[in-house]
Structure 1
Amino acid sequence: MPFLSVQPGASAPRGKRKLLAWLVFLSFFIGIAEIGEPLELGMRAAQFKIRAQAASGRIVAVGLDDRAFATLGSWPWKRDKVAQLTDDLMASGADRIFFTIPFPPLDQQGDRIFADTIAKYPGRVFLTAAMDYRTGETAGTPVFPAPIIARNAAIVSKMKWIEFWNGTATMPYGQNIAGRYYTSIWTEIAGVDTKSTDQFPVDYSYRQSSIPYHSVSEIMSARPGTVDLQGKSVIVGHNSNAFSNFEYILGQGRTADLFVTALGAETLRGGAPQSWGWMPAWCFALAIAAFCFLGRWTKLVGPVSAGALVVLFVAPIMLQNMGIFIDVAPAFVLAASIAITAAWQRYGARKQSLGAINPVSGLPTVNAILHRDELDPQILVAARISRFTEIVSTLPPEHERELLGQVVSRLSLGVGRLQLLHGDDGNFFWLMPGEQLAGAVDQFKALQLIFRNSIAVQDKSFTVDIAFGVDQEVDRPLSHRLASALAAAKAAADQGTCWKIHDPAANGAQQWALSLLGELDQAIDNGHLWVAYQPKMELASRRIIGAEALARWTHATRGPIGPDEFIQVAERHGRIEKLTAFVLNDAARVGAEAMRQDPDFCISVNISSALLASRNIIDMVRQALAANAFPAANLILEVTETAAMAEGRVAIALLEELRDMGVRLSIDDYGTGMSTLEYLRSIPATELKIDKQFSMALQSSAEDQAVVQSTIELAHALGMIVVAEGIETAETLYLLDQMGCEIGQGYHICRPTDWETILTMIPAPARIVANG
């Protein structure tokens, strides 16, 4: 029976309808499940850039920034200073003032002064309320200003949902907090009168750079009348990297929350926008798909599908100018699929036919299967001839055809009328009905006996063996079953048996481990393995002075793979050296870039204990430093005290040599191992890192406070500086600063991010002095 009967490029109507149904279902699922949001965000960012426009100028941002803290002292300020700021803003002509910062109880006298100041401007000073969802999305805690302050102020909501890309695409008109409705701050600024909790899309075509901005220090140090805020709404909020209130604006990058608030208000000032969702654009794409797949105008499929893509990009821009926002990702996927299918039918099918016949044996090749991602109810048989490539390598090219002729003749005795396919390196395949497998076992044994007779080619004689593998997983595409059948044949040959059935359940976990190991080298080369950087802050000045390099793997099909998983595999199978060299080189490169802004900027890199058993680590560090012109004094290598001591004197000697090179050393995860004073004295470290489990418990555990305080004092006595991990709240940061901890890192400061973002967070020393 013939194996393939459909000519290249031919497409039956039923096949077209089936493909159309799958594409429609896929695009509809993308719309329902919202998994096309990354594509949507990318397209909308481009549309905003095309529509870029200036803000109205009626909304002014006043920032509590580094300049203000250098001039007026670090945050939090006493409330009498905030009261003075309120008076200064009103004296400059502000119509209304909106504070986005929280005002919990601080000191009674200062709170009373601020409350009395607000009372002087009834209905013109607005404070914000919100919900704290750190305990979970369904159980939040209302957060209001101190009662003595709130009684004289108008209260608005500042709540909005931050999405996975660390930004917000929509904002609510208002929010119910503790059983009461509060108008959102952007709604109040824009003067929209509503009691709705609906969301509206934010128009990020307004350039953030066009929003008038003043530092608080500029307001409070200016002579009356110097800053003109006449009749304008003023938003006061944090604008410093010392606070974690930064978000991303589509098409414009990272910015402080007060600018996002201003852009939400600018959106509503231009008229309440409407969101039509994704269905209108999807219905348009569905009509195009029906025309292309079910119509008779095949020559128009390419131009029509390409035109649909253009419309799906341009139409949203025109509608946004009318205050209408539509989502096009599902429609764009459907239209793009049509265009790709049209291109494939025109160009790809022709290419698919190339290589379909082996020129030596004259048999169809496995390309007939590889290009058909479809199911087949028959079982797949693989025949693997041992030493085939070795035999071919000893023959002149003109005699290879004779060898293959004899091999095919012998196989044909067992295959019969079934179509035999020619693979690579002496592998052959065929399909057969499942009910024939029992009888085929006798054929496998008979073929094995036949192949044990020598094959004579010219004056040479060769003895070969053959083994068979069977794949019965008919629920998988044929193209995926080739490797399974061949793996079963190889297993049969290795075990000395005639044939074997592929069993996926027996080696699933082993396959994943082997795949992970095999793909690790490729992941480094093709960019799937990358380095994230978590900023390190000097607690006293709130400056970003360094970063820790952290290896990350975004797998092409499995998504993000946890560092613990692939780092352990790398350590067990000898890949940790290559992985560490990759991280070191990237860290040195980024460090050299950062030093252009701050010559004292340091990069930290974790060192596995497996690297402390040989001198390769010394050469690795030297090469990374030299290749990137990065000074040794700006590199910090982090090693756990347990790992260092486990490798004995060899590790200590290597660490001492690294220190003599000028590299700084850090004792990582202090407190989680068998830490002793002898360990601390033996390791030539300049830095000690307190494990995050102690930092995160500071506010709730007096015992942990005592442990951390004593650890800091011990480190200082040994001449080391102290770094605290796991800082997740402002209160933890404040406590560590008071205890004398020099440096901190954690989610409150910044999550691990890309190196470009790190560079934007580095304040140049010269600029800080000038502003101070």
Structure 2
Amino acid sequence: MLALANDPLPVGSDLVVAVIARYEEILTTLPRELHGEWARQIARRITAGSGTTTIYHGEGGQFGWCEEARPLEMQLDHLEGLRALFAAPLIIGSYTFDTNIHFGLDRNEGLDTSTRVNSALASANEALSNGRSIELFEAQRLAEAPWELSLHARIEEGLRNGDIWLAYQPQWHIAENRICGAEALIRWNHPTRGPISPDAFILQAERAGRIDALTYWVLDLAITAALALNTRGPRFQMSVNLSAQMVDKSDLVANFARIVERRGIDPTLLTVEVTETSSVRNRPVACQNLTRLREMGFRLSIDDFGTGEASLAYLADLPSDELKIDRRFVSRITSSPRDATIVANTISLAHALGQTVVAEGIEDPETLAVLRDLGCDLAQGYHLGRPQAFEQLEKAYDESLLQFRTA
């Protein structure tokens, strides 16, 4: 890929970068002497579909090339056709693999080659993370480039001056009608841009390599809140989110262990939420890390259940304790018999596997009543409490305990 970045591109060229899902995981399966053949077979398929004879290969499973620029719709159709070539499995010696390929497309001819390669690579990784076939690097991303490039400093500044803060959305025990936990959610009120969508700046933090620091900052503050609330009443469970970019990192378990030891908290009071995603690069290592966290005492939760590419496989593979049903199913259970049936059977399946079930996105009392009848364990949503500062959560928790004790 470095060679591609250093070469001038022909006039009137689009630049394409393809990334292969689970590339490193597949390499660990193959004997070392077959690694080169694995890359060559992928490159041959790309050549057959693109008509391009020169394919550049990066060590992380990236393949780059340039093509004659076509009208956008024609180019997107062309790449979809190229993707279809990978529907047939690749056979490497005695090994057979299904291959999932994602494309990043850069059409900004006025930029230098190095910038275009990085743009296409970022778009390909974004396509992989979002489960899309193709991601186009557009002018809007170019306009945001100064913001993304300075994000490291902006995050540090936001943490120092309090623009970045931690909100807590309460979780209610449905049967006991009281707050029993909360999910820690990061928020950013930028002084000039105003409130920044968490999805937007978390994605930018992942691109900028800052998601690790943000996650550990969230964990530390969430522990402070959990320690305080567990002195006030019954067991209070605190949930934190773990980015797919961190799940397979070699230092994840050690870092979590150091933080809980330093803070002196029982790990069983903390729930780690992991979203179903195809973007985890090394799934075996990710599962090993999550298993080790659970062995340390952390509870594991599958977040947004029902929206990923392999919901049941995720439930089977992960040593989880909790399942969170995504709001898109929960919000329609009072109006859609089909969604109500899906939620009811999901609850039954989770309970059969010994899982606690949390329903997200509850926005009215009717939905809560249906979930109570279905035997759902915990509830979360605007009807029960919006994400709020710790002081508000503390007050709401005390009030719910008082009502519970006097009921």
Aligned: 1:525 with 2:155: no
- Specify the SS of the correspondent of 1:537: strand
- Relative distance call for 1:549 and 1:526 in structure 2 (3 A) is same
- Specify the SS of the correspondent of 1:761: helix
- Relative distance call for 1:516 and 1:620 in structure 2 (3 A) is same
- Relative distance call for 1:703 and 1:767 in structure 2 (3 A) is closer
Q: Does the 8 Å contact 2:178/2:404 carry over to 1?
A: no
Q: Offset at 1:528?
A: 1.3
Cα separation, 1, equivalents of 2:279 and 2:175: 31
Q: Does the 8 Å contact 2:276/2:311 carry over to 1?
A: no
2:187 equivalent in structure 1: 552
- Specify the SS of the correspondent of 1:750: coil
1:509 equivalent in structure 2: 144
The one of 318, 324, 328 equivalent to 1:683 is: 318
Cα separation, 1, equivalents of 2:270 and 2:178: 18
- Specify the SS of the correspondent of 1:726: coil
Deviation sequence 1:33-52 (CA, Å, 0-9, x none): xxxxxxxxxxxxxxxxxxxx
Cα separation, 1, equivalents of 2:143 and 2:310: 40
User: Which AA in structure 2 matches 1:650?
Assistant: V
1:746-757 correspondence to structure 2 within 5 Å: 746-757=381-392
Which consecutive unaligned segments of at least 5 residues does structure 2 have?
1-139
Q: Offset at 1:763?
A: 4.1
The one of 339, 344, 353 equivalent to 1:704 is: 339
2:26 equivalent in structure 1: none
Q: Offset at 1:641?
A: 2.8
Cα separation, 1, equivalents of 2:292 and 2:354: 19
User: Which AA in structure 1 matches 2:226?
Assistant: G
2:136 equivalent in structure 1: none
The one of 280, 292, 295 equivalent to 1:657 is: 292
Aligned: 1:632 with 2:267: yes
The one of 571, 588, 591 equivalent to 2:223 is: 588
- Relative distance call for 1:523 and 1:710 in structure 2 (3 A) is same
Cα separation, 1, equivalents of 2:225 and 2:184: 10
- Relative distance call for 1:571 and 1:507 in structure 2 (3 A) is closer
Q: Does the 8 Å contact 1:695/1:725 carry over to 2?
A: yes
Cα separation, 1, equivalents of 2:182 and 2:288: 26
Q: Offset at 1:518?
A: 2.8
Cα separation, 2, equivalents of 1:691 and 1:506: 29
User: Which AA in structure 2 matches 1:604?
Assistant: S
Count residues with an aligned counterpart.
268
Aligned: 1:720 with 2:355: yes
- Specify the SS of the correspondent of 2:343: helix
Q: Offset at 1:765?
A: 9.9
- Relative distance call for 1:643 and 1:540 in structure 2 (3 A) is farther
2:253 equivalent in structure 1: 618
- Specify the SS of the correspondent of 2:150: helix
- Relative distance call for 1:507 and 1:574 in structure 2 (3 A) is closer
Larger CA deviation: 649-658 vs 614-623: 614-623
Q: Does the 8 Å contact 1:598/1:764 carry over to 2?
A: no
Identity %: 42
Aligned: 1:569 with 2:204: yes
User: Which AA in structure 2 matches 1:732?
Assistant: T
Cα separation, 2, equivalents of 1:734 and 1:752: 22
2:109 equivalent in structure 1: none
2:368 equivalent in structure 1: 733
Cα separation, 1, equivalents of 2:145 and 2:317: 41
- Specify the SS of the correspondent of 2:277: helix
Q: Offset at 1:676?
A: 4.2
1:400 equivalent in structure 2: none
TM-score (norm. length: structure 2): 0.62
Q: Offset at 1:559?
A: 1.2
Deviation sequence 1:631-665 (CA, Å, 0-9, x none): 10110000023358653110000000000000000
- Relative distance call for 1:508 and 1:769 in structure 2 (3 A) is closer
Aligned: 1:606 with 2:226: no
- Specify the SS of the correspondent of 2:167: strand
Q: Does the 8 Å contact 1:670/1:689 carry over to 2?
A: yes
1:157-306 correspondence to structure 2 within 5 Å: none
User: Which AA in structure 1 matches 2:392?
Assistant: T
Deviation sequence 1:519-554 (CA, Å, 0-9, x none): 112212222111000000011111000000001111
2:59 equivalent in structure 1: none
Cα separation, 2, equivalents of 1:688 and 1:524: 31
Which consecutive unaligned segments of at least 5 residues does structure 1 have?
1-504
Cα separation, 1, equivalents of 2:261 and 2:286: 23
Q: Does the 8 Å contact 1:549/1:603 carry over to 2?
A: yes
1:302-321 correspondence to structure 2 within 5 Å: none
- Relative distance call for 1:750 and 1:769 in structure 2 (3 A) is closer
- Specify the SS of the correspondent of 1:684: coil
User: Which AA in structure 1 matches 2:229?
Assistant: A
Q: Does the 8 Å contact 1:689/1:724 carry over to 2?
A: yes
- Supply the RMSD in Å over aligned alpha carbons: 2.2
Cα separation, 2, equivalents of 1:738 and 1:581: 38
Cα separation, 1, equivalents of 2:372 and 2:233: 22
User: Which AA in structure 2 matches 1:560?
Assistant: P
User: Which AA in structure 1 matches 2:333?
Assistant: L
Q: Does the 8 Å contact 1:571/1:610 carry over to 2?
A: yes
- Of structures 1 and 2, the one scoring higher in RCO (CA 8 A, sep 6+) is 2
Question: Higher Cα Rg: structure 1 or 2?
Answer: 1
Q: Offset at 1:768?
A: 6.6
Deviation sequence 1:51-100 (CA, Å, 0-9, x none): xxxxxxxxxxxxxxxxxxxxxxxxxxxxxxxxxxxxxxxxxxxxxxxxxx
Q: Does the 8 Å contact 1:609/1:647 carry over to 2?
A: no
1:82-101 correspondence to structure 2 within 5 Å: none
Q: Offset at 1:570?
A: 1.1
Q: Does the 8 Å contact 1:694/1:704 carry over to 2?
A: yes
Deviation sequence 1:99-121 (CA, Å, 0-9, x none): xxxxxxxxxxxxxxxxxxxxxxx
User: Which AA in structure 2 matches 1:522?
Assistant: E
Aligned: 1:597 with 2:216: no
Cα separation, 2, equivalents of 1:605 and 1:538: 18
- Relative distance call for 1:716 and 1:581 in structure 2 (3 A) is same
- Specify the SS of the correspondent of 2:397: coil
Cα separation, 1, equivalents of 2:349 and 2:374: 12
Cα separation, 1, equivalents of 2:166 and 2:214: 11
TM-score (norm. length: structure 1): 0.33
Q: Offset at 1:517?
A: 3.8
- Relative distance call for 1:597 and 1:645 in structure 2 (3 A) is same
User: Which AA in structure 1 matches 2:268?
Assistant: A
